[in-house]
Amino acid sequence: MKRRLITSESITEGHPDKVCDRISDSVLDAMIAQDPTSRVACETCVTSDYALVFGEVTTKAKVNIEAVVRRAITEIGYTQSGIGFDAESCKVEVRLGVQSPDIALGVDNSIEVKDATTPSSDLDKIGAGDQGMMYGYACRETDTLMPMPIYLAHKLTRRLTEVRKQGILPYLKPDGKSQVTVVYENGKPVRVDTVVVSTQHDEGIDNQQIYTDILKHVIQHEIDAKLLTPDTIYYINPTGKFVVGGPAGDSGLTGRKIIADTYGGICPHGGGAFSGKDPTKVDRSAAYMARYVCKNVVAAGLADRCELQVSYAIGVSKPVSIYVDTFGTGKLSDEKLTEIVSKEFDFRPRAIIQTLNLLRPIYTKTSSYGHFGQNDFPWEKTDRIDSLKKYV
């Protein structure tokens, strides 16, 4: 029997890096809500009582950036003075410039459109905003077709936020992390080996109380009892104290949690972050499309596991390459599935935007608990099952 351990982590919306992701995506949503054609590359960094929003945008929207920042911080829960980061009193600086005209040349008119000798269509108009490769993944380990370790890790951090905001554990603060290690036997998840939860809390709370409360109200509430055994190991606030947290305890930056944002390390990552980028940036939109394709391939029964890589050149509409890997679980060869995917799905940036209806203010919610596996996102739909089943 082949046995291995796989670990993934998640972070709450109050983690410094996630604060930055939420601010950047909130700015993006505010601009897209007024001007759906906005080009946005918004970054944020935070530290004690300070937030800096910077980057490049081209938009007709008139947005009060400072108000957006303070609202995002308030929604997370940093609303108490004296803890080192407060929505009302923190300093907010904005340094947003205009998008490079050189980049805009390739995005606004792709190489296919510029080349008069090459037939092109309206879907060729937008070129990729950068070079790079993006990955998608899906598997049968959970009902969301996400890998078990990251699925469970996100459940724990989401629950940490719930028990804090609902007053079930009122002494909790916004910052927190989870980590789940799952035992796999013959490629199948069979039990949870180790759970790590670290959560910010009020001064003076006994660590044993935190251990008991988190075990009952978070871990046992969210993880199926069949996956927890007498051998499962729990580390809950293992340092013994976590009072200083959030941006007061550690600086934050947009895009630093890309593995927690995707598949928890189960599949490769192309390197590009998502938050703060409008959908002409294929770092974001093509990664969403890749997930959409993989999820439909698995849901249609063409494979039990599916990974897809798609790559682009800046200013070029059509992808440079597409490949599918089903790790030996495909009902057809990977070469054949690559042909099918290339035929059934259009990976040109403008086509992706239309297919997934991406020119809407839907991005703030993606900034926490993963960009994949939350079923109300358009790239999580399994509406292409019938068109794929015909190939089996």
How many structural domains comprise the chain? 2
Q: What is the distance between the alpha carbons of residues 184 and 191, in angstroms, rounded to a whole number?
A: 8
CA proximity to 30, closest of 6, 5, 61? 61
The pLDDT score that the predictor gives to residue 130 is: 80
Residue 176 half-sphere exposure, CB side, CA atoms within 13 Å? 35
pLDDT at 22 over 60: yes
217-241: per-residue pLDDT in tens? 999 999 999 999 999 999 999 999 9
Average pLDDT of the residues in 289-303: 98
CATH of the domain at 196: 3.30.300.10
Average pLDDT of the residues in 31-60: 96
Structural domain for 189, as ranges: 3-11+149-245
The pLDDT score that the predictor gives to residue 215 is: 98
Q: Which helix (H) or strand (E) holds 201?
A: strand 188-201
In a domain, 304, yes or no: yes
Q: What is the distance between the alpha carbons of residues 123 and 341, in angstroms, rounded to a whole number?
A: 18
Claim to verify: residue 222 and residue 298 sit in the same structural domain: no
Claim to verify: residue 161 and residue 219 sit in the same structural domain: yes
Claim to verify: residue 157 and residue 241 sit in the same structural domain: yes
Q: Do 135 and 270 form a contact (C-beta atoms < 8 A)?
A: yes
339-355: per-residue pLDDT in tens? 999 999 999 999 999 99
- Is this prediction's pTM over 0.75? yes
- Read off the pLDDT band of 84 (50, 70, 90): confident
Phi/psi-derived region of residue 204, left when phi > 0, alpha when psi is between -120 and 50, beta in every other case: left
Radius of gyration of the chain (CA): 22
